[in-house]
Amino acid sequence: MRTVIIEDEDLTAEDLAMTLKRLQPAMELCKRLSSVKEAVAYFKTSPKIDLIFSDIQLGDGESFDVFQQVSPTAPIIFCTAYNQYMLKAFQTFGLDYILKPFSDDSISKTLAKYDLLKQTFNKGAMDLVQAFQNQSPQLTSEVRKKSLIVISGDKIIPLQMDDIAICYIEFDNVFVKTDNGKEYVVNKSLEEMENLLGNDFFRVNRQHILKRTSIAFANMSLSRKLILNLHVDHPIKISVSKEKYHTFMLWLEG
């Protein structure tokens, strides 16, 4: 089995590699990647691999940014210390989701799950990827919510997701702002909102998630950040970091 590890912490990557070799001595560890940039460049070479083990939070972004730029060529096992990315992971061809610190038992169960699915499809990992691709639209439609419950005074309002223009965090509270400028506090984290809002939204920085149609135009600042101008009034200047520039531009094109 040809395997790739995406992990920016050296000790964790070494521990995972040793665990995999101990559990499956015949496994071939093809590459260890430590950043979004490095992973994108590697996967663009169309390597022949069977399985990907990937951390989520990397030094220059999230591993999800990698698979927005290049299609995964094998099922992905996400290994992370955080549980809020689970929905997004399974929408990104995630075969399994392991919370750190991982153990021999958790890795062993994941490998057994992979082997069982591989035997079921009976042709190898690429068939698994095709199966995930075929099932993804159905999965997304089943889990994607159409409305969000918000509170305004004594009113409970089912706010349509399509009406949201901006989602942002301020003073530890998460707000949504609609296309017509109305604001509501939501009882969710920004990470949970990122998972709920879907592909028409993009987290441009740590504080803001924007809908594609809410963006009027962008200006390049002296620091080479993109400064965004919106159709909806918003008092805070919103910028896109240099690390997310390429991914953002691909998303903006649809």
Sign, Cα dihedral of 62, 67, 69, 73 = positive
Average pLDDT of span 172-176: 88
Query: What pTM was estimated for this model as a whole?
Result: 0.52
Instruction: Summarize pLDDT for 74-109 with one digit per residue, the tens.
Output: 889 999 887 777 777 877 778 888 888 888 998 998
Are the CB atoms for 130 and 117 separated by under 8 Å?
A: no
Average pLDDT of span 24-28: 91
Are the CB atoms for 244 and 238 separated by under 8 Å?
A: no
2-142 CATH fold:
Rossmann fold (3.40.50)
Q: Per this entry, what is the length of the chain?
A: 254
Taking the domains of the chain in order of start, what are their residue ranges?
2-142, 147-252
The CATH superfamily of 147-252 is LytTr DNA-binding domain (2.40.50.1020)
Higher pLDDT, 169 or 84: 169
Order across the sheet with 147-152: list the strands. 155-160, 147-152, 183-186, 173-178, 164-170, 208-211, 201-203
Give the angle subtended at the CA of 208 by the CAs of 207 and 210, to the nearest 5°.
Answer: 175
Q: State yes or no: pLDDT of 20 exceeds 90.
A: yes
> What is the pLDDT, as a whole number, of residue 118?
72
The Cα 129–Cα 135 span in angstroms is 10
The Cα 193–Cα 250 span in angstroms is 21
Instruction: Summarize pLDDT for 193-231 with one digit per residue, the tens.
Output: 888 888 899 999 889 999 999 999 988 876 677 899 999
Q: State yes or no: pLDDT of 113 exceeds 90.
A: no
